[in-house]
Amino acid sequence: MKVIVLGTNHAGTVAVRTLKRLNPNWEIVTYDKSDVISFLGCGIALWVKGDCKDPKGLFYASSELLAEEGIIVKAQHEWINIDKTKKEVTIKNLQTGEEFIDKYDKLIVSTGTWPVIPPILGIDLPGVQICKNYAHAQSIHDANLNPKIKNITVVGAGYIGVELAEAFTAYGKKVTLIDVSDRIMPNYFDEKLTKLMEDRMVRDGVSMALNQKVVEFKGKDKVDVVVTDKGEIKTDYVVFSVGVKPQTEALKGKVDLDNHGAIITNDYCQTSDKDIYAIGDCSTVFNVATKKTAPIQLATTAVRTGIVAAINISSNNTLKAPGFTGANGISVFGFNMAAAGISETYAKSVGIEVESIEFTDNDRPEFMEKYKQVWIKLIWEKKSRRIVGAQVASENNHTEVMYMFALAIQKEMVIDEIPLIDIFFLPHFNKPYNFITLAGLEVLGLNFFKK
């Protein structure tokens, strides 16, 4: 049996290692157009800020490591065509220009995503930098260390933009954050929680240019002005990060794609062709909260799909994926936030009728010398009462409660069960009725601690 994997980042790396572990005698080949593999893009801001001193730590595998495990790794090789009838992939060696054909029994597509680059005038000026791979990270890291670069503009207030805003601020840069939305991270959190983070960002010197659209970048030898529909912002450097799109253009007509270009897969990570599987950010998964299939472009989802596809290829589809919740988190500006499932804002935008509770409490008993506030929001479907979303924010780190809520959403737990979850108590960590239990009691009208 021969399996070819196209793309060797989060999902692809896990897939090839799982395949080889389960099938030592199989031929496992992986191609990647980059000169490096398995780069942890989630750590870019940590390196830029200086929390990660050695960028080598952002590579969780290497060609040498995979080769030691018996996996054939071909870096700087790009696939340019798939003939699913002949079960062949046409590959181009990017160093020599040579093209050749490789045959497979099973194929895994793990091509990931690429930043969206709209046709904005001046977007190709030097100093306008996208953020995705190691080369991009090097440019951004060097810019932060450059004393001549004093004003940095970040376009896009998603996770990457917010994390980089903190990294630049930590080095004394004057940072402006631009987004077409009227608040940060709108895809993950509702307004009350994002406002908590925005207040801290402003406190630390970030200029917020929200509800603004970039219409032009100006400059001669390099960018020096960002023009929005509401004015001009002087800048020395720009990071442009407004979203990503699946790298699937060459797959049109080969397998089924959704309206956004993501590869449609079933519960086994199998595409419309039974011998082709798709994993990671370029593919769809079943979202338990929405009960619909869509991309969930997170590293955690990617690695899990890598495992699912590898096991199913090895076992003729015996492992059905349990569904995904999009659990995620962020820690910046001295504040920690996490979410799972969908926000109330998103639910309303797609016509899912939900109810919710926003609850605030201290994380430890007030007789302790130190305690902090915690903000939690729970969202449930009105008709079934199943939990479809949860969000938490705090200065102390309570993001790990999202592990529990991700499982609760996967298992379709209802909101009425929350007060009876067997959560341990110790004053060092929480209260006898902690913020999770009390939120559940509040929903049922049983919060007898409420004043």
CA angle, 236 then 237 then 239, to 5°: 160
Q: For the chain, how big is the Rg over CA atoms in Å?
A: 23
3-state secondary structure (DSSP) of residue 155: strand
CA angle, 41 then 170 then 241, to 5°: 40
Q: Can you tell me which residue has the tokens 């926000």?
A: 343
Instruction: Tell me how far apart the 2 most distant CA atoms of the chain are, in Å.
Output: 74
Phi, psi of 374 (to 5 degrees): -130, 135
DSSP label at 427? T
Q: Using the Cα atoms of residue 161, residue 162, residue 166 and residue 172 in order, give the sign of their dihedral.
A: positive
Give 67's contacts (C-beta < 8 A, 6+ positions apart): 73
Kind and range of the H or E run holding 10: helix 10-22
**What distance in Å separates the CA atoms of residue 283 and residue 111, rounded to the nearest whole number?**
9
42 as an active site residue: the answer is yes
Q: How many CA atoms lie within 13 A of 23 on its CB side?
A: 16
**What distance in Å separates the CA atoms of residue 73 and residue 63, rounded to the nearest whole number?**
6
3-state secondary structure (DSSP) of residue 396: coil
DSSP string, 216-282: EEE-SSS--EEEETTEEEE-SEEEE-S-EEES-GGGBTTB-B-TTSPBP--TTSB-SSTTEEE-GGG
Kind and range of the H or E run holding 214: strand 214-218
3-state secondary structure (DSSP) of residue 428: coil
CA angle, 442 then 443 then 448, to 5°: 25
* 274 neighbors 164 (Cβ within 8 angstroms): no
Residue 100's nearest CA partner among 87, 109, 88 is: 88
Distances in whole angstroms, Cα of residue 333 to Cα of each of 182, 187, 246, 297: 20, 19, 31, 24
Known catalytic residues are: 10, 42
